[in-house]
């Protein structure tokens, strides 16, 4: 200890003597001292040397195998075989003091050591020996090298997870953006490094001539199972079934031109990029993916990138987009399957969520009472409840002999079979699902209005029904006290879906006014008020009905009100269509001549 204090070389016989007496308790006094003369003029702490190789370069030492002859002494001094993440933390702290405190660029060797420390942190994070909270304590410590090798705090830094995004702000981020390092990015993210996409907002400035793309919609739906194989293999986490449900909700539209600009909010400043054209853009609020075709060629790569961002916004799109692009760009489903097989994607089979147990087993069909004689076969009572279809209401209120409707204006989606009076149409808005709309027919209309150009987006067909004295809800008789089997199955499906979306659904009592489910987010706030309409078959042109109470509640709650239509609710092929804010999307009401029965007739 005296020789170490005055930096004088100690004779090597001292180490031999101590090794022979390594059981002596006095040797423990050397554990925290610079007591190892590793060269003729340098003493080192036992904690800073290792028997095996290490990634710390000149900042730590390695003992040669010939020194194993002093193994007894070195065990008493606590010399270890390999370093741990705690050693990496100490090394990084030393480099921070040496370089970061004076804003000195790292040399190449020091740069390599810093990145090795972050790789050790990531390994420890994955093994659970260090937590994200532990790494978060580094958020304001200069410990992440930027592009010019200056150390910066993690909360100053961004991963450039979309190529070229930083360059859109003309050098403002040149010192704050780094590539995502392999084997260290998760640890850096836990310490506070953010993705650039999370700090940049994309603003749509212009969308010329948008129109619904049935081609892309159909291709995505018919290749759903192949897309599921990609999501299962290439995504790093999350519920794949929930992602598929989100995929079903995305709508697609083509446009002649898209123009966007990027908005960055960072370091107490807000910057705008220059406007530029864009091949594809997903807007989360409306669940709408717009794209521009060039020479009638669909931009599958940008579409796949936007789909990856839509389904996994927290992940780098390059992880998932290539597989999605291969599936979508293939000429056929068979070709897509063959490509995935050649690339080695595992076969994946989707399964609908099971209906929760506890439902009563049906053992009989039919009832023991006779229907009222004043109702025609196949019709329902005018107070038939919220699950009655539109045609059921019409037949009950107007009778099966009522006149067919006046044809709708040119360009309107026509039903395949006659319906009653059409009240209103509306351009499809955010959150709407028009997958069940009918194909365009060839009906014409004269006298009421001149021919009009069809709206850019498909119309949503709705009908209104009037009865002078309709009961607002079905009476609470024994027969109507509980939900029907189909209705109960639909509610169960919706609750299961809400749980996959990390929400907590609460089923209201039967005939609760306005809606069926309150679904809360992780903060405990009600995120969605859900009215469930359950169908035993497909959601076809007969539609589903909202009572006046439900419609009024939808107007009141606005974007928090959702209509969930569950097709084939009591089968394994059930499908949920989610429509947000269904009562407030109508921007035009059209009254055809069916309303003459409500008009006051004044003769000329």
pLDDT digits (tens, 9 = 90+) for 5-28: 888 889 989 999 999 999 999 999
d(CA 144, CA 121): 13
**Quick check: 517 pLDDT over 60?**
yes
- The whole-number pLDDT of residue 438 equals 35
Sequence-distant (6+) residues with CB within 8 A of 582 are 432, 546, 554, 561, 562, 563
* Helix boundaries (H) for 128-239: 132-136, 185-191, 196-199, 214-222, 224-234
- The whole-number pLDDT of residue 467 equals 57
* Helix boundaries (H) for 21-151: 71-77, 85-99, 108-127, 132-136
Residue the block writes with tokens 């995504």: 235
Q: How confident is the model over 31-59, as a mean pLDDT?
A: 89
d(CA 371, CA 551): 30
| Candidate ranges 36-50, 77-91, 334-348; pick with highest mean pLDDT | 77-91
Indicate the helix (H) or strand (E) that contains 590: none
**Quick check: 52 pLDDT over 50?**
yes
Average pLDDT, the chain: 79
Contact 99, 72 (CB under 8 A): no
**Among 502, 447, 510, which residue's Cα sits nearest to residue 478?**
510
What Rg value do the Cα atoms of the chain yield, rounded?
A: 34
- The whole-number pLDDT of residue 116 equals 95
d(CA 190, CA 194): 9
More confident residue, 232 or 385: 232
Q: How confident is the model over 53-60, as a mean pLDDT?
A: 93
- The whole-number pLDDT of residue 542 equals 73
Q: How confident is the model over 401-416, as a mean pLDDT?
A: 48
Contact 553, 515 (CB under 8 A): yes
- The whole-number pLDDT of residue 401 equals 52
- The whole-number pLDDT of residue 148 equals 92
Q: Which two tokens stand for residue 386?
A: 């919220």
pLDDT digits (tens, 9 = 90+) for 274-310: 898 999 999 988 899 999 998 889 999 999 999 998 8
d(CA 29, CA 16): 17
pLDDT digits (tens, 9 = 90+) for 237-278: 556 678 888 899 999 999 999 999 988 888 878 888 889 899
C-alpha distance across the termini of the chain, in Å: 121
Sequence-distant (6+) residues with CB within 8 A of 220 are 227, 247, 250, 252, 328
User: Mean pLDDT lowest for which of 45-49, 402-406, 495-499?
Assistant: 402-406
pTM over 0.85: no
Contact 338, 254 (CB under 8 A): no
- The whole-number pLDDT of residue 585 equals 78
**Quick check: 395 pLDDT over 60?**
no
Phi, psi of 337 (to 5 degrees): -60, -45
d(CA 573, CA 257): 38
**Among 319, 322, 284, which residue's Cα sits nearest to residue 303?**
322
User: Mean pLDDT lowest for which of 83-92, 129-138, 159-168, 498-507?
Assistant: 159-168
pLDDT digits (tens, 9 = 90+) for 321-373: 999 999 999 999 999 999 999 988 887 654 444 444 443 444 444 445 444 44
Q: What's the half-sphere exposure (Cβ side, CA atoms, 13 Å) at 455?
A: 14
Residue the block writes with tokens 């060039």: 294
- The whole-number pLDDT of residue 362 equals 45
Q: How far is CA 199 from CA 193, 265, 305, in A?
A: 11, 6, 18
- The whole-number pLDDT of residue 444 equals 37
Q: Which two tokens stand for residue 370?
A: 């006779």
d(CA 15, CA 415): 97
Task: Say if residue 263 is exposed, middle or buried (CB neighbours under 10 Å; 0-12, 13-18, 19+).
Answer: middle
Q: How confident is the model over 228-232, as a mean pLDDT?
A: 87
pLDDT digits (tens, 9 = 90+) for 99-148: 999 999 999 999 999 999 999 999 999 999 999 999 999 999 999 999 89
Contact 167, 157 (CB under 8 A): no
Ordered domains of the chain (ranges, CATH): 2-83 (no CATH), 86-192 (no CATH), 196-343 (no CATH), 390-580 (3.40.1350.10)
Helix (H, G, I), strand (E, B) or coil at 437: coil
Residue the block writes with tokens 């759903």: 224
More confident residue, 560 or 350: 560
pLDDT digits (tens, 9 = 90+) for 155-211: 999 988 777 788 888 778 888 888 888 899 999 999 999 888 878 888 899 999 999
Q: Which two tokens stand for residue 492?
A: 């169960």
- The whole-number pLDDT of residue 374 equals 46
């Amino acid at each position: 200890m005296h020789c170490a204090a005055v930096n004088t070389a100690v004779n090597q016989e001292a180490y031999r003597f101590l090794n022979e007496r390594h059981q002596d308790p006095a040797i423990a006094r050397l554990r925290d001292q610079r007591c190892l003369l590793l060269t003729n003029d340098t003493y080192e702490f036992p904690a800073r040397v290792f028997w095996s190789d290490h990634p710390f370069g000149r900042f730590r030492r390695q003992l040669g195998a010939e020194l194993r002859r002093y193994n007894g002494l070195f065990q008493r001094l606590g010399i270890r075989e390999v370093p741990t993440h705690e050693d990496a933390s100490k090394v990084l702290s030393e480099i921070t003091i040496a370089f970061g405190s004076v804003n000195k660029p790292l040399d190449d060797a020091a740069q390599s050591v810093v990145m090795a420390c972050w790789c050790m942190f990531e390994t420890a994070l994955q093994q659970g020996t260090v937590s994200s909270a532990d790494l978060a304590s580094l958020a304001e410590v200069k410990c992440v090298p930027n592009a010019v090798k200056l150390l910066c705090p993690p909360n100053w830094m961004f991963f450039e997870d979309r190529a070229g995004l930083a360059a859109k702000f003309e050098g403002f981020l040149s010192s704050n953006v780094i590539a995502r390092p392999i084997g260290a990015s998760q640890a850096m993210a836990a310490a506070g490094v953010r993705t650039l996409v999370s700090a940049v907002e994309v603003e749509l400035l212009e969308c010329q001539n948008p129109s619904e793309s049935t081609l892309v919609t159909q291709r995505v739906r018919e290749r759903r199972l192949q897309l599921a194989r990609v999501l299962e293999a290439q995504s790093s986490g999350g519920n794949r079934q929930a992602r598929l449900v989100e995929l079903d909700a995305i709508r697609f539209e083509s446009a002649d031109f898209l123009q966007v600009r990027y908005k960055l909010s960072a370091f107490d400043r807000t910057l705008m990029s220059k406007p530029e054209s864009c091949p594809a853009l997903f807007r989360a609020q409306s669940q709408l993916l717009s794209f521009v075709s060039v020479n009638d060629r669909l931009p599958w790569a940008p579409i796949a990138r936007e789909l990856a961002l839509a389904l996994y916004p927290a992940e780098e799109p390059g992880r998932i987009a290539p597989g999605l692009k291969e599936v979508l760009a293939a000429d056929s489903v068979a070709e897509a399957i063959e490509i995935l097989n050649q690339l080695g994607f595992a076969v994946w089979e989707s399964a609908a969520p099971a209906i929760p147990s506890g439902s009563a087993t049906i053992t009989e069909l039919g009832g023991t009472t006779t229907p009222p004689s004043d109702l025609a076969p196949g019709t329902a009572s005018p107070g038939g409840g919220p699950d009655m279809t539109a045609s059921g209401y019409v037949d009950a209120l107007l009778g099966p002999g009522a006149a067919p409707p006046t044809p709708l204006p040119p360009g309107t989606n026509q039903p395949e079979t006659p319906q009653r009076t059409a009240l209103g149409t509306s351009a499809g808005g955010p959150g709407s699902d028009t997958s069940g709309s009918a194909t365009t027919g060839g009906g014409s209309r004269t006298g009421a209005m001149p021919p009009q150009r069809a709206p850019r987006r498909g119309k949503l067909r709705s009908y209104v029904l009037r009865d002078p004295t309709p009961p607002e809800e079905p009476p609470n008789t024994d027969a109507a006290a509980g939900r029907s089997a189909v209705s109960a199955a639909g509610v169960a499906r919706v609750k299961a879906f809400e749980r996959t979306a990390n929400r907590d659904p609460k089923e209201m009592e039967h005939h609760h006014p306005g809606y069926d489910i309150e679904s809360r987010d992780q903060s405990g706030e009600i995120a969605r008020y859900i009215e469930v309409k359950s169908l035993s078959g497909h959601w076809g042109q007969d539609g589903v009905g909202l009572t006046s109470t439900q419609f009024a509640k939808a107007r009141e709650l606005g974007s928090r009100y959702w209509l969930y239509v569950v097709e084939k609710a009591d089968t394994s092929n059930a499908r949920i269509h989610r429509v947000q804010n269904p009562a407030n999307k109508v921007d035009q009401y059209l009254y055809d001549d069916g309303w003459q029965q409500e008009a006051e007739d004044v003769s000329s």
